A and B are shown apart, each in its own frame.
Chain A
Amino acid sequence: MAELDDIIHQPLRLKIMAALNALPAATGLEFSRLKKLTGATDGNLGAHIETLAKAGYVSVEKAFVGKKPQTTVIATAAGRGAFARHVATLQEIIAGKQV
């Protein structure tokens, strides 16, 4: 019986993973774009990205575009796999295969 992934299940982290997973592999989203999409605050988003990065589900790339720092968050292969399993588990719950 598959288990829900506790790291992904938190609502904001679920949104972050869903947004990143909607992109092609190795493509990421800028922090500001992710903030707008999820409706999170800077601090909250940063903390949850850190949790996902510690679990190996996302990688964070920091670069300078001109003089502006730019942070890009990318879902790793492990993160994509975990997200796919989490979604499959949610679907199983809805189908009544799990209680």
Chain B
Amino acid sequence: MIDSKEASAALADIDDIVQRVKQSQLYELASFAAVWWGLLVFAANLVTWLWPVYAVYAWVAADTLGAGGLVALRIFNPPHHSHGAAFNVRLLLVFVLFFAFGYLCTNVIGHFGPRQLGTFWPLYFMLFYTLAGLWFGYAFMAIGVGISALTLIGYFYIGEAFPLWMAFVNGGGLILGGLWMRRI
């Protein structure tokens, strides 16, 4: 038989591995979401760069497909605890509130031009990534801070090619970040 110190150490090992399994599962799901959003953001920025007149349609399509993809991801990967539902109306409300607040800032309180819009939305999106990192793992924070910093560099130092810069920094950053999450 073992003593209480050894038993405590064994339970601590169990807790540690359970946390790692949970984080690994979270990273796996988050990586799908990041890659999906990355592809959409890359495409939308590319459309903005090549055909600015269609930018508004590209972004509405990207946002709709992005939010729809996350809802689908949730439906196909329901939470394991018994009180969770596969389709959670709260998830939809999160998107409604997220975009409503963004719209309020960019079109009601302020009147942002294309360059400001192209900076605000990634920064706003990445703020949530960074905050999520405080609870759910350093990868979220690294992706959030990294993309935010590169977005600001683009805003201040990249000229006409800003949408192209953002295609690679925001879209590419999310894709690479998502793939990196799967390897952690």
Contacts and interface: CB of A to CB of B under 8 A. Distances in A.
B105 interface: no
Contacts of A99: 1
Contacts of A15: 13-14, 17
B21 A14 contact: no
Contacts of A22: 17-18, 21-22
Interface of A: 4, 9, 11, 14-15, 18-19, 21-24, 29, 33, 36-38, 87, 90-91, 93-94, 96, 98-99
Interface residues of B, number: 17
A4 B2 CA distance: 9
A13 B11 CA distance: 13
Nearest to B183: A36
Given A87-B11, A90-B11, A94-B7, A18 B1 contact: no
B21 A37 contact: yes
B20 interface: yes
Contact of B17 (A9, A24, A38): A38
A9 to B, nearest CB: 8
B10 A14 contact: yes
A37 B7 contact: no
A93 B7 contact: yes
Given A14-B13, A24-B80, A36-B24, 7 more contacts: A4-B2, A14-B14, A15-B14, A19-B18, A33-B24, A93-B4, A94-B4
Contact of B11 (A9, A33, A94, A96): A94
Nearest to B4: A94
Contacts of A98: 1
B16 to A, nearest CB: 8
